[in-house]
Structure 1
Amino acid sequence: MFVDMSGKCGGWIYWLLKAWRIRMKFRITKEKEFYRRVFLIMLPVAAQQAINMGVNMMDTIMLGNFGEVQLSASSLANSFYMLYGILCMGIIGGCSVLVSQYWGAGNLEKAREVFSLAFRLAAVLGFAFAIVTWLIPGTIMQLFTSDPEVIEAGVRYLKITAFIYMIHGTSQVVAFLMRSVRQAQLGLYVSIISFFANIFANWVFIFGKLGAPRMEIAGAALGTLIARCVEFLVTFLYVLKIDQKLKLKVSDFLHNPERSLYRKYFQVGAPALVSDGLLGLGSTAISMVLGRMGSDVVAANSICMVVDRLFTVVVQGISNASGIITGNTIGEGKPDKAQEQGETFYLLSILCGILSTILVSIGGPLTIRLYNLQPETITVTKSMMYAYAVVMFFSAVQSIMTKGVLRGGGDTKFLLKADVLFMWLVSIPLGILAGLVLHAPGWVAVICLRIDFAIKSIWCVSRLKSGKWIKNITVET
């Protein structure tokens, strides 16, 4: 029944694209199997993202009962954790290119070696972040804010989250890479279980229920730690005991991949890791700029970010689907077909951008009522929410194109240039000028700090049409 529904939706999307096709000569694939595969990957990924954002929203709502200080502290502390998460996504981005193309070429042995490589990278990176977080939590918070109350609350949060990095990073990369072998449902199952574990643990430890101490912001961190432990157990139970496609074993994760795979990863995957690492540092810099504009701006931005992610789950799903499908197609040795699919995904990204902008414009301001905020913070949040709605269109296009199609095609070096040039040379300097020098309103700073999304949305079109983004990395040289 699920397959039948996806087929009908795919046909509907095809005719909508055909009726709406823009003047540039973009091809639209007519294969029903293509749209079915898009939905089979997109739906569980979108559901997983929605659940994850629901957990974050519940965290902010629960902590919102204790005022802006704790809400701001958790948001800023998570900005540092977000840097690790983005680096993990860089590992996933690079390795997923290899896995999806090796899967398309039918080389399962190489695919298993990539899993081992990703697991090792995430574990080493997680250990490094855990040590830094445990030793200097106060210094980390001072990077984002000078408010002593926010710093003190953030230190309490960070001391507990130091134990999360390794277990979350390793389980995250494994669950995400399973999407590349058409096992997108794993992440959904893990998120559902994690959702209930997190909500229950937060309720117990934030408010001090069932005889537990009332820990407030520290309780939110402990609830997240418990949920991540559950995710780790469920992920590896599925991968090692239930999955029948890759049939991974513990020895596969302990086995050191061949040197040729390391070379191939550093040729294709390392640019994705560096690119996402620089994006992570850029996001940290953005949080630092907004963190120095006042606690009301920080609280408003934390709410806007949750709403942003909640209303763009479909974009994230299609972005994942585009990278996996184009990677599989290129691995099968069908570049012309991959080009047609890439152009179809571009048109889909525009539709998603329009839909996301409408949803945030209408639904975003309504979510503010869920929070216990001061009148000044409510005013700031509303204005920033509309700024996020404007940014949303370009965010959708560049996400599907850069993190999906072009990355799935192995064009990671080109994307590294785009990320470095536009974020670090345009967006961040403009954001610093607007927010810290000219003391512009929060919504102006948000527009300036995300202007790179608009530039990349336009720049990637010519790259897509050129066909130079298609690189078959499974061919041995």
Structure 2
Amino acid sequence: MQSLISSSLSLIDNLMVGSLGEKELAAVGIAIQIYFIHWIVMFGFTSGVSTFMAQFWGVKDLASIKKTTGFAICVCFSISVIFFTVAMFFPQKVMRLFTDIPELIELGTGYIRTGSFTFLTISITVPFTAALRTTQQTKIPLYISLFVFSANAFLNYIFIFGKFGAPELGVIGSALGTLIARCFELCLILFAVFGKRNIVAGRFSEHFGWSRELVGRIIRNAIPTTMNETFWSVGTSMYVAAYARVGVTEYAAVQASNVINNLFTLAAFSIGDATLILVGQKLGEGKLDFAYELGRKLLRVGIVLGLVSGGALIISSKFIIGLFELTPEGQKYAFYILIIYGAFMWLTVYNGISVTGILRSGGDTIFAMAAETGTIWLYAVPTAFITALALHLPIYWAVFFVKMEDVIKSFILVKRFRSKKWARNVIQDIAVPD
């Protein structure tokens, strides 16, 4: 539900920006790549950390969960300072990495700089959200997301179009609305944890008094997940670098398609988070065979949900595309791209659950990293540049050949799951100081 709320309101935001024109939509789509990479890096690290949180929750070791959360905050904040510095002082160079079109660079530069402080707020909210989820308090982040993303959409409406006496800021208004909403999110998360004295709340020493053994194990598990998501996010951003150089209309179609596709995939991908928590809890309890069977059933649920979501995406694609201010040519491109996304969705969801849920629940993060980064960088990224820029294929055919990466990856992941080599207890014999 939280993922569905997030993707639904993201669609609304993009519709508002898209109503300004194809250039504005394309510029924001390029500008958010640095935010996308940051978010995925945060997700990658906390995903590796969540393996320990989930298994600690399996034995109800709250002291270790608090220390793990504190360590995650320190690492995430340190990484976010780097992103903040780049976004605040070098936004134009970031845009030039993805496009050489002057109008898009100018529009995107203001967006990146305005929203730069969101990197710092997210570095704190993501670890606490992970702690709440792994202790099965999923309603708290759900309610916070409902408020925050609703406020984000409302604030964007105010600042993009200059409503209720506010200045009409266009693209920059979208970034400003998002920044204010993220500040609300930080305040609400801190209140929910410390103001309400949640079970994951603790004194300074409880969050930051780590043992060398605990830190060592977390780092060994989390570095591969962080590298996995970093290489994956940079790899998918390379698709943008290829598609955005084809033309404004082509990339605007890709951006609109991605926003619509996320509406259907993010809700399905949230099963990956649930899988990590549920399977990880059983692994922490030492019930390895039970964890394997549970993982197998959750993968089946993911396939079914992927088929349903993919069908719904195909059926509704023409209607949703019509809400964007795209040219007739742009609408045609977007429609074909969504057909491709819908056809591949069941496979995309299966792969996502396998990597973020199954393999990571047992700390099999190095294999997960090799499978994901290998298929993206050895196949998908070169394919994007060759098909779009060298062969000059229509943009939807370029997307199709890039999506074939999911087929290659699925064969690797099915074999790994059946081997049961991923089903391990990673918290056994960890000594944690009081």
- What's the TM-score, normalizing by structure 2? 0.96
SS in 1 for 2:322: helix
The reply on whether 1:127 has 2:75 as its aligned counterpart is no
The reply on whether 1:343 has 2:296 as its aligned counterpart is yes
The CA deviation at 1:251 is 5.0
| Contact 1:92–1:177, Cα closer than 8 Å, also in 2 | no
Distance (Å, rounded) in 2 between the aligned partners of 1:132 and 1:153:
17
Distance (Å, rounded) in 2 between the aligned partners of 1:461 and 1:219:
45
Distance (Å, rounded) in 2 between the aligned partners of 1:470 and 1:266:
19
Q: Name which of 359, 362, 373 aligns with 1:420.
A: 373
RMSD over equivalenced CA pairs, Å: 1.4
Matched with 2:99 is 145
SS in 1 for 2:424: coil
Aligned partner of 1:390: which letter?
A
The CA deviation at 1:390 is 2.1
Distance (Å, rounded) in 2 between the aligned partners of 1:466 and 1:294:
45
Distance (Å, rounded) in 2 between the aligned partners of 1:457 and 1:292:
30
Matched with 1:436 is 389
Matched with 2:318 is 365
Residues 177, 246 of structure 1: alpha-carbon distance in 2 compared, 3 angstrom cutoff? closer
Matched with 1:324 is 277
Distance (Å, rounded) in 2 between the aligned partners of 1:165 and 1:159:
11
Q: Name which of 211, 224, 235 aligns with 2:189.
A: 235
Q: Name which of 191, 196, 212 aligns with 2:166.
A: 212
Matched with 2:132 is 178
Provide, for residues 370-410 of structure 1, a one-character-per-residue CA deviation record: whole Å limited to 9, x for no partner: 11221111111111111111221211110111111111121
Select between 147-156 and 428-437 the one with higher mean Cα deviation: 428-437
Distance (Å, rounded) in 2 between the aligned partners of 1:139 and 1:246:
40
Distance (Å, rounded) in 2 between the aligned partners of 1:364 and 1:91:
34
| Contact 1:268–1:410, Cα closer than 8 Å, also in 2 | yes
Aligned partner of 1:128: which letter?
I
| Contact 2:98–2:244, Cα closer than 8 Å, also in 1 | yes
Aligned partner of 2:371: which letter?
A
Aligned partner of 2:242: which letter?
V
The CA deviation at 1:236 is 1.0
Distance (Å, rounded) in 1 between the aligned partners of 2:322 and 2:401:
27
The CA deviation at 1:250 is 4.9
Aligned partner of 2:384: which letter?
G
Distance (Å, rounded) in 1 between the aligned partners of 2:219 and 2:157:
44
Provide, for residues 148-179 of structure 1, a one-character-per-residue CA deviation record: whole Å limited to 9, x for no partner: 00100001101111111010232122113311
Distance (Å, rounded) in 1 between the aligned partners of 2:20 and 2:63:
52
The CA deviation at 1:448 is 2.4
Matched with 2:220 is 267
| Contact 2:362–2:425, Cα closer than 8 Å, also in 1 | yes
The CA deviation at 1:256 is 4.3
Aligned partner of 1:458: which letter?
F
The CA deviation at 1:315 is 1.4
| Contact 2:88–2:116, Cα closer than 8 Å, also in 1 | yes
Provide, for residues 432-453 of structure 1, a one-character-per-residue CA deviation record: whole Å limited to 9, x for no partner: 1111110111112112223222
SS in 2 for 1:316: helix
Aligned partner of 2:355: which letter?
T
Matched with 1:246 is 200
Q: Unmatched 5+ residue regions in structure 2? A: none
Identity of aligned residues (%): 30
| Contact 2:286–2:425, Cα closer than 8 Å, also in 1 | yes
- What's the TM-score, normalizing by structure 1? 0.87
Aligned partner of 2:282: which letter?
T
The reply on whether 1:226 has 2:180 as its aligned counterpart is yes
Residues 380, 119 of structure 1: alpha-carbon distance in 2 compared, 3 angstrom cutoff? same
Matched with 2:428 is 475
The reply on whether 1:71 has 2:25 as its aligned counterpart is yes
SS in 2 for 1:370: coil
The CA deviation at 1:455 is 1.8
Select between 449-458 and 324-333 the one with higher mean Cα deviation: 449-458
Matched with 1:84 is 38
Distance (Å, rounded) in 1 between the aligned partners of 2:138 and 2:203:
19
The CA deviation at 1:120 is 0.8
Distance (Å, rounded) in 1 between the aligned partners of 2:366 and 2:322:
44
Matched with 1:169 is 123
Distance (Å, rounded) in 1 between the aligned partners of 2:310 and 2:103:
35
The CA deviation at 1:243 is 4.8
| Contact 2:118–2:182, Cα closer than 8 Å, also in 1 | yes
Matched with 2:399 is 446
Matched with 2:309 is 356
Matched with 2:155 is 201
Distance (Å, rounded) in 1 between the aligned partners of 2:236 and 2:164:
38
Matched with 1:7 is none
Distance (Å, rounded) in 1 between the aligned partners of 2:96 and 2:270:
35
Q: Name which of 131, 140, 145 aligns with 1:191.
A: 145
| Contact 2:55–2:282, Cα closer than 8 Å, also in 1 | yes
Aligned partner of 1:181: which letter?
T
Aligned partner of 1:330: which letter?
L
Select between 120-129 and 387-396 the one with higher mean Cα deviation: 387-396
The CA deviation at 1:313 is 3.7
| Contact 1:426–1:452, Cα closer than 8 Å, also in 2 | yes
Matched with 2:52 is 98
The reply on whether 1:108 has 2:62 as its aligned counterpart is yes
The reply on whether 1:287 has 2:240 as its aligned counterpart is yes
Distance (Å, rounded) in 2 between the aligned partners of 1:119 and 1:394:
33
Distance (Å, rounded) in 1 between the aligned partners of 2:13 and 2:267:
22
Distance (Å, rounded) in 2 between the aligned partners of 1:104 and 1:117:
20
Residues 251, 302 of structure 1: alpha-carbon distance in 2 compared, 3 angstrom cutoff? farther
Distance (Å, rounded) in 1 between the aligned partners of 2:133 and 2:394:
41
Residues 439, 74 of structure 1: alpha-carbon distance in 2 compared, 3 angstrom cutoff? same
| Contact 2:131–2:200, Cα closer than 8 Å, also in 1 | no
